[in-house]
């Protein structure tokens, strides 16, 4: 999610609108934010105007030209009363998500998005966002947070609206699964009737001691398992996600066997490298690990799952740090807006297939990055 700051004329209330540079159309201007430098007053009927030229006029918001150029026709943005501009939906991106809440019922040691208090502003913004996404949208929609199911009734409202508007789009819910232990809540989600729901559940170990230590939750493991069992009762699609850290890598192979013995029905298992920002950066002394330290265990886990016909993938680990036999399992997973490559990657023959690294990880890059020739 791109964030930037306007320099003058902050709005009196939060704006959510669709970017346009087209002044020819007179239809639906009330939901559009025009980008132009030729107007000295706000054009008729637009929600607002972004300009890199300074105008002391209500409804015209000054934004650096470099930032203005980041927007494409059809992007959806918000402008807060404090002047912060956020890209909520990038028309050309395949990695859009609806950020439901910054709050969470866990406090994971490796969380790149540390929990924050929820001030109830995002619900209105997200309802507006869903209304502004083109009705013919058919690509994947992701609900994320925080914990998106934390406020149950609000989540039901959002999911219902999304289903009504995009009944044929796959919807992925990134969740720790704890609230899904509530059978009636899970039943309400299922009864919405969306046929392409996928629950991507964080399960960080095969033992409660390790999982609960990583997630900093009491009974988190048992609650998450109970949530998975409820989803199974309703025959829902389940993906399990395991972030590889110093705390859990030793049991990668045992984790794979645990999945096979207990959840052989899962749609997919994802093994994920760290994004070293937020709590992950704060706790790097106890959770950071280089891929070379766990790659053998990871290979064993992948072999165990594939031999048992359980679909699995590797996310967020550059190809040069994996044995060639695991390349086909590795995905280009990092969201395009925070994707980066080291200088050593220039000229690499598998550059176009590699996930690269997180720009958000600052200086915490993996060692041993090398060009493959």
**What's the pLDDT at 228?**
98
The reported pLDDT for the residue numbered 366 is 79
Position 363 confidence tier, pLDDT thresholds 50, 70, 90: low
Which CATH number among 3.40.50.300, 1.10.10.10, 3.20.20.450, 3.20.20.70 corresponds to the domain 97-361? 3.20.20.70
pLDDT at 1 over 80: no
Q: What does the pLDDT average to over 154-178?
A: 97
Q: Would you state the pLDDT for residue 362?
A: 65
pLDDT one-digit tens code per residue, 276-332: 999 999 999 999 999 999 999 999 999 999 999 999 999 999 999 999 999 999 998
Q: Is it the case that residue 191 has pLDDT exceeding 70?
A: yes
Q: In whole angstroms, how far apart are CA 73 and each of 17, 20, 77?
A: 12, 5, 11
Which has more confidence, 40 or 77? 77
Higher pLDDT, 43 or 197: 197
pLDDT class of 365 with cuts at 50, 70, 90 = low
pLDDT class of 15 with cuts at 50, 70, 90: very high
What's the pLDDT score for residue 336? 78
Please tell me the distance from the alpha carbon of residue 108 to that of residue 215, in angstroms, as a whole number: 4
pLDDT higher for 266 or 337?
Answer: 266
Q: How many angstroms separate the CA atoms of 156 and 163, rounded? A: 10
Q: What is the pTM of this model?
A: 0.93
Instruction: Check the CA dihedral 201-207-211-216 and report its sign.
Output: positive
User: Cβ–Cβ contacts within 10 Å for residue 343, how many?
Assistant: 7
The helix/strand count (H/E) of the chain reads as 10, 16
181-199 exposure pattern, b = at least 16 Cβ within 10 A, e = fewer: bbeebbebbbeeebeebbb
Arithmetic mean of pLDDT, 183-210: 98
More confident residue, 337 or 325: 325
Q: Where in the chain do CATH 3.20.20.70 domains reside?
A: 97-361
User: What pLDDT is recorded for position 306?
Assistant: 97
Q: How many CB atoms neighbour CB 7 within 10 A? A: 12
User: Which pLDDT does position 82 carry in this prediction?
Assistant: 93
What's the pLDDT score for residue 297?
A: 98
> Residues 211, 215, 219, 221: what is their CA dihedral angle, to the nearest 10 degrees?
-40
Average pLDDT over the chain, rounded to an integer = 94
Backbone angles phi, psi at 141, to 5 degrees: -120, 130
285 DSSP β-pair partners: none
And the tokens for 313?
């993938």
Q: What is the CA radius of gyration of the chain?
A: 22
User: What single string gives the DSSP state of each residue in 55-66?
Assistant: ---TTEEE--HH
Residue-wise pLDDT for 299-313, tens only, equals 999 999 999 999 999
């Amino acid at each position: 999610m791109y964030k930037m700051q306007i320099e003058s004329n902050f709005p009196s209330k939060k704006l959510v609108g669709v970017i346009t540079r087209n002044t020819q159309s007179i239809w639906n201007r009330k939901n559009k934010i025009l980008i132009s430098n030729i107007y000295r007053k706000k054009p008729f009927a637009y929600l607002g105007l972004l300009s890199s030229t300074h105008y002391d006029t209500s409804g015209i918001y000054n934004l650096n030209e470099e930032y203005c150029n980041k927007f494409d026709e059809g992007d959806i943005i918000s402008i807060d009363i404090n002047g912060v501009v956020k890209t909520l939906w990038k028309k050309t991106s395949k990695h859009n998500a609806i950020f439901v809440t910054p709050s969470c019922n866990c406090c994971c040691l490796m969380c790149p998005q540390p929990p924050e208090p929820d001030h109830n502003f995002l619900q209105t913004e997200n309802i507006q966002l869903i209304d502004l996404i083109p009705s013919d949208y058919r690509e994947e929609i992701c609900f994320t947070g925080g914990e998106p199911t934390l406020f149950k009734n609000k989540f039901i409202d959002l999911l219902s609206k999304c289903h009504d508007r995009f009944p044929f789009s796959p919807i992925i819910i990134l969740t720790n699964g704890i609230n899904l232990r509530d059978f009636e809540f899970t039943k309400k989600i299922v009864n919405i009737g969306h046929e392409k729901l996928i629950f991507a559940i964080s399960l960080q170990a095969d033992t409660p001691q390790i999982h609960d230590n990583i997630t900093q939750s009491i009974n988190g493991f048992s609650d998450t398992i109970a949530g998975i069992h409820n989803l199974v009762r309703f025959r829902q699609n389940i993906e399990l996600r395991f972030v590889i850290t110093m705390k859990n890598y030793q049991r990668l192979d045992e984790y794979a066997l645990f999945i096979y013995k207990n959840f052989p029905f899962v749609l997919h298992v994802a093994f994920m490298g760290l994004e070293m920002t937020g709590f992950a950066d704060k706790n790097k002394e106890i959770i950071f690990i280089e891929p070379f330290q766990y790659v053998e265990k990871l290979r064993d886990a992948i072999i165990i799952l594939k031999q048992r016909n359980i679909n699995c993938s590797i996310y967020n680990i550059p190809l040069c740090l994996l044995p060639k036999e695991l390349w086909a399992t590795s995905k280009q997973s990092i969201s395009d807006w925070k994707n980066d490559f080291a200088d050593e990657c220039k000229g690499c023959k598998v550059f176009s297939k590699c996930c690269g690294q997180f720009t958000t990880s600052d200086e915490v890059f993996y060692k041993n990055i090398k060009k493959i020739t």
